[in-house]
Amino acid sequence: MDRAPDPLVGTTVDQRWHILRQIGTGAVGVVYLAERAKLGRQVALKLLHPEYLSNNEYVSRFAREARALSRLQHINCVSILDVGTHEQRPYIVMELVNGPSLTEEVGTPEMTLPRAVRLVRQVLEGLGHAHGHGIVHRDLKPDNIIVTEVAGVGEVAKILDFGFAHINDSRLSQSNARLVPGTPSYMSPEQAKGEKTDARTDLYSLGVVLYELCVGFRPFVAGEVAELLQKHRDEAPVPPRQAAAGRRISEPLERVILRALEKDRDVRFADAAAFAAALDETPEGRETARAGGAAHKRSLVPYAIAVVALVVACIGVIAALHRH
């Protein structure tokens, strides 16, 4: 049976955003491919599901995501372009990020260990930026990390979906204490216990993602959510080198992964920068630096020259104005 056509497709939101087609749906909202009227710039427009308009928790989550995104300006975090309300439904307009999610990359021949380290390292850069602005994501998972291509930079990992984010701002209402934020397969022990979360919560979830990228499957699997959460709380993961003997994971990388997955958050990395620095010291991290570091530095040279030239030109203009 054919699905009824979406009534929003072909319409224009707030006389600015023309909706082309639906590209995704989630627990809270529907995401559309849209374009800026008259300009033609393509964007992702996310609308709250109409059935949740009377649900304060979901409305609050949607508002939190917009507030979180408005604070972020980083290449590894999706950018917000606009917010508003269309026919009583709140919406968020974001940059359009094209590319596969990390979910689609798990277990592929292209997901080498150096690439896994490089992509997770980029996510840590984005997390460090978010944490520095008082934002804890609380739902990091491969579905929420897109791998895209950026002109002049190359392959870039971008963090999406800040709907479960905790924001350190007393003016904002936070999520209902009875609601456990996150996705069970990637939840930290403190989330599984219903305890307060902090930046190290995201580091645990990213540790699960790194384990999955390196090994090919998650450290904890169970048929029931309660059993899965119990494993996150109490069970030690099978060491990556044992779980995937054929992958040749180095001992230093295994130590980094296992430290990120510590049950006690005080034993994990203190912050995203410490996690990233530890990855840099692994053989896989050093291989990544050798392969991409020089090229990245070379790509920045023309921009540096252009900036210097612009500064010199501005100084010349200012000096000329003073003379006159």
Q: Which amino acid is at 205?
A: S
CB crowding 288-314: b at 16 or more within 10 Å, else e: bbeebeeeeeeeeeeeeeeeeeeeeee
pLDDT tens by residue, 257-287: 999 999 999 999 999 999 999 999 999 999 8
DSSP letter for each residue of 58-117: HHHHHHHHHHHHHH---TTBPPEEEEEEETTEEEEEEE---S-BHHHHTT-TT--HHHHH
Would residue 161 count as lying in a domain?
Answer: yes
Alpha helix positions (H), the chain? 56-71, 102-105, 113-132, 189-192, 199-215, 225-234, 240-243, 251-260, 272-280, 283-323
Q: Is the pLDDT of residue 141 over 80?
A: yes
Q: Is the pLDDT of residue 297 over 60?
A: no
Is residue 120 within 8 A of residue 140, CB to CB? The reply is no
Per-residue confidence at 238, pLDDT binned at 50, 70, 90? very high
Q: Is the pLDDT of residue 54 over 90?
A: no
CB-neighbour burial class of residue 159 (10 A; exposed 0-12, middle 13-18, buried 19+): buried
Number of domains comprising the chain: 2
Would residue 83 count as lying in a domain?
Answer: yes
Closest C-alpha to 50, from 31, 28, 69:
28
d(CA 173, CA 113): 41
Q: Is the pLDDT of residue 315 over 70?
A: no
Here the CATH number for the domain that contains residue 25 is 3.30.200.20
**Shared domain check, 271 and 153:** yes
**Shared domain check, 73 and 216:** no
Q: Is the pLDDT of residue 226 over 80?
A: yes
| pTM of the full structure | 0.83
Which of 54, 73, 95 is the last residue in one of the domains? 95
Per-residue confidence at 305, pLDDT binned at 50, 70, 90? very low
The whole domain housing 46 covers 12-95
Which one from 139, 143, 198, 280 is the annotated catalytic residue? 139
Which three-class secondary structure state does DSSP give residue 33? strand
Q: Is the pLDDT of residue 296 over 80?
A: no
**Shared domain check, 169 and 89:** no
**Shared domain check, 17 and 143:** no
* Residue 139 is a catalytic residue: yes
Q: Is the pLDDT of residue 2 over 70?
A: no
> Is 180 or 218 the better-scoring residue by pLDDT?
218
Would residue 77 count as lying in a domain?
Answer: yes
Here the CATH number for the domain that contains residue 221 is 1.10.510.10
Per-residue confidence at 217, pLDDT binned at 50, 70, 90? very high
Note the pLDDT of residue 309: 38
pLDDT, the chain, mean: 85
pLDDT tens by residue, 144-189: 999 999 988 999 999 998 878 888 754 434 444 445 578 999 999 9
Would residue 200 count as lying in a domain?
Answer: yes
